[in-house]
Amino acid sequence: MNGYFDGIAPLKFDPNSSELAFRHYDPDEIVLGKRMEDHLRFAVAYWHSFAWEGGDPFGGRTFDRPWFSDSMEAAKAKADAAFQLFEILNAPYFCWHDADIRPEGATFAESRKNFEAIIDLFEEKMATSRTKLLWGTANMFSHRRFMSGASTNPDPDVYAWSAATVKLCLDATHRLGGENYVLWGGREGYETLLNTDMGQELDHMGRFLSMVVDYKHKIGFKGQILVEPKPQEPSKHQYDYDVATVYGFLKRFGLENEVKMNIEQGHAILAGHSFEHELALARELGILGSIDMNRNDYQSGWDTDQFPNNVPEVALAYYEILKAGGFTQGGTNFDAKIRRQSLDPVDLVAAHAGGMDTCARGLKAAAKMLEDGVLEDMRKERYSGWQTPEAQSMLGADLVTVAARVEAEGINPQPRSGRQEILENIVNRYV
Ligand code: XLS
Ligand code: NI
Ligand code: NI
């Protein structure tokens, strides 16, 4: 193949290499009885790596990619570059939005034709590539028609347009054998309550998601439907605020067994949570689906989507994922972009290589913590009082019965240490 990344050889696992290589990510290394590649299930995000132009609120495009234009020729050149990067990284998966891969047409039909032509091209490329589709999704936040939301837009025509868009993207995801379909509602929220009927918007969003789930079953799509929570940005308030909020929403519309979560590190931070908090809660609620791996700058209050490089943080995230039994259809999508001064093809390759190594180190540390079992033993010990028959019987008893125990049995609770520093010291041994 020749193209954008020419001169960069496919990356090899070589812990001692001074060249561009994986130093920790060995796809074939067995971790907890499974190949590392099958644990991590890495995906390259089309939008950040190929569609993003390097702009920020104060300046436009910094990158100079040969495919930056609105023609179908350019879209094809972009696809060529994408599949070349997948090969260099030996990436098992990729992800896209419709708007990342095709030029917008003058009408819905024209956009659809452009999109379908690129899906044809993907199908052709995927026949000889090892890279599969982790998930597809619809971009229903960039174009100005979506400025007041997609399914929650006050204009019913936008609701219809959004339905047509999701149908198209879900059909394409199904056709390419995608393992998940994601809905991130960037503008499903509001800018001001003064012009917003929150009750109506939530009803519409619930109805919309139910239609998507029904359609998934209708076409026999076996992938997971995933909602991606985020508290705000671009909207002032996003309805899918965090895992807990989305779970309440799913319960309300009877979708809690149909829809799972795609959880992103940066979004968790914006919601005032840690990544591991969101993952642990989703696991306990039975809705952990997949992750968007990245890192936020802790000093800036927005979604900086940097590649991960903090092993202790990543280790705690994979610890929660391993405790859930690992990914089934989900995976680790790098929803991460290089900085706008990182102009060169090699920067894109190095960013992914570093992110993959960081995740590999995190996964190995997490696996070792779980295998050694010290943390879980101490957690279990903390709750061991609940093992007695008296304690267990309280969980089926009424308030009067439980209350009566205190004086009848002379109960007088003695506080015990939570051992937080000791636990943190234990984690430090692994990371
Ligand atoms: C934006 C989101 C977006 C979703 C896919 O903050 O993370 O990239 O992952 O629409
Ligand atoms: Ni994301
Ligand atoms: Ni994000």
Specify whether 320 is located in the same domain as 253.
yes
Decide whether any atom of ligand 1 lies within 6 Å of the 100 Cβ.
no
Give the pLDDT of residue 2. Answer: 63
Is residue 35, in this structure, part of any structural domain at all? yes
- CB neighbours of 210 closer than 8 A, spacing ≥ 6? 253, 254, 255
DSSP per-residue letters across 363-419: HHHHHHHHHH-HHHHHHHHHTGGGGSHHHHHHTTS-HHHHHHHHHHTT---------
| Cβ of 303 less than 6 Å from ligand 1 | yes
- Measured from the CB, is residue 230 less than 6 Å from ligand 1? yes
d(C-alpha 121, C-alpha 63), whole Å: 25
Are 360 and 292 members of one domain?
A: yes
Nearest-CA residue for atom 4 of ligand 1: 184
Are residue 359 and residue 221 in the same domain, yes or no? yes
Structural domain contains residue 5? no
182 and 265 assigned to the same domain: yes
Residue type, 113: K
Q: Is residue 2 part of a domain?
A: no
Spell out the alpha helix ranges (H) of 140-222. Answer: 156-175, 198-219
pTM: 0.97
For residue 299, tell me if it sits in a domain.
yes
10 falls within a domain = no
Q: Measure the CA–CA gap between 197 and 205, rounded to whole angstroms.
A: 12
Closest atom of ligand 1 to CA, residue 264: 7
pLDDT of the chain along its 431 residues, tens only?
A: 469 999 999 999 999 988 899 999 999 999 999 999 999 999 999 999 999 999 999 999 999 999 999 999 999 999 999 999 999 999 999 999 999 999 999 999 999 999 999 999 999 999 999 999 999 999 999 999 999 999 999 999 999 999 999 999 999 999 999 999 999 999 999 999 999 999 999 999 999 999 999 999 999 999 999 999 999 999 999 999 999 999 999 999 999 999 999 999 999 999 999 999 999 999 999 999 999 999 999 888 889 999 999 999 999 999 999 999 999 999 999 999 999 999 999 999 999 999 999 999 999 999 999 999 999 999 999 999 999 999 999 999 999 999 999 999 999 999 999 999 999 999 999 99
Q: First and final CA of the chain: distance in angstroms? A: 39
* pLDDT for 1: 45
How far apart CA 365 and CA 354 sit, in angstroms, is: 17
Q: Which ligand is nearest to the CA of 263?
A: 2
- DSSP H/E element including 319: helix 311-323
- Boundary residue ending a domain (342, 357, 372): 372
How many angstroms separate the CA atoms of 203 and 224, rounded? 22
For 381, the domain range is: 377-430
Q: Are residues 320 and 381 in the same domain?
A: no
**Which of 372, 387, 412 delimits the end of a domain?**
372
CATH of the domain at 235: 3.20.20.150
User: For the packed helices 345-372 and 420-430, what is the interaxial angle rounded to 10 degrees?
Assistant: 120
